[in-house]
């Protein structure tokens, strides 16, 4: 026992990362990154965070900025809650989680206003709504409160990336077919329009975001049959 204490004193990171001999990127830890991208995606499998997928995916740029913001907030919040997990009284844990997430969102919001003010204005209230994003609160409650810092960090990154790629994919198709642009740059050549092609204005409406998400869910389940729920 004394030998272990001496090791932790010499290497304090062991307390935060691994108390045992498990490698940092063991198969178990890698699953924390890979599962949310497909088998346990927060949007297409858990059906969480749908609101932002509908609201800010008209264009690719705000979807990318929102995705980066969620990755930063979720990773930082998971780490902080994991560090404090043994100090947070059970009866106020939700309040503490909200305070941590709100602090991270305020920090991200100020950074966006400083460096990408136009996008910050476009996202407006949706950045603030990250505070109540059920994906973030769910991972804090279900994972960060019961796991070490390293695993909580990987879980936060994995779930945020799972959320992010859906947002970016939906925004890609909506902007491309809705306005013929990507990142505000016209990508459909003029001769295509001269041949009679017309942008589909329906793609710019919120219901189309839900339809695109539904198509992604259908493709995902047709490829991965174990995600289909049995009646």
* Structure confidence at residue 50 (pLDDT): 79
* Structure confidence at residue 154 (pLDDT): 93
Q: Where are the domains of the chain?
A: 31-224
Which phi-psi region, left, alpha or beta, contains residue 47 (left: φ > 0; alpha: ψ -120 to 50)?
A: left
pLDDT in tens, the chain (231 residues): 444 444 444 554 454 555 556 777 788 888 988 889 888 888 888 888 777 777 788 889 888 988 999 999 999 999 999 999 999 888 999 999 999 999 999 999 899 888 888 888 877 777 877 887 888 888 898 899 988 999 999 999 999 999 999 999 999 999 999 999 998 889 989 888 888 889 988 888 888 888 999 999 899 888 877 777 765
Tokens linked to 21: 């001999």
Answer for the pair 156, 144: CB distance below 8 angstroms, yes or no. yes
pTM, to two decimals? 0.83
Going 30 to 36 to 37 to 40, the CA torsion angle's sign is positive
Neighbours of 83 (CB within 10 A): 15
* Structure confidence at residue 7 (pLDDT): 42
């Amino acid at each position: 026992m004394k030998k272990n204490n001496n090791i932790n004193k010499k290497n304090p990171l062991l307390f935060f990362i691994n108390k045992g001999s498990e490698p940092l990127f063991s198969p178990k830890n890698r699953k924390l990154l890979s599962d949310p991208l497909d088998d346990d995606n927060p949007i297409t499998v858990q059906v969480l965070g749908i609101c932002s997928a509908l609201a800010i995916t008209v264009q690719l740029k705000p979807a990318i900025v929102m995705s980066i913001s969620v990755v930063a907030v979720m990773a930082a919040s998971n780490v902080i809650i994991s560090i404090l997990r043994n100090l947070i009284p059970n009866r106020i844990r939700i309040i503490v989680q909200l305070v941590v997430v709100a602090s991270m969102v305020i920090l991200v919001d100020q950074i966006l206003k400083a460096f990408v003010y136009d996008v910050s204005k476009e996202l407006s209230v949706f950045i603030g709504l990250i505070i109540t994003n059920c994906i973030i609160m769910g991972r804090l409650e279900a994972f960060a409160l019961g796991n070490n810092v390293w695993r909580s960090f990987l879980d936060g990154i994995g779930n945020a990336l799972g959320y992010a790629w859906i947002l970016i994919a939906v925004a890609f198709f909506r902007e491309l077919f809705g306005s013929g642009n990507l990142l505000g740059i016209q990508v459909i050549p003029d001769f295509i329009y001269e041949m009679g092609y017309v942008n589909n204005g329906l793609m710019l409406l919120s219901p189309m975001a839900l339809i695109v998400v539904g198509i992604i869910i259908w493709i995902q389940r047709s490829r991965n049959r174990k995600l289909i729920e049995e009646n």
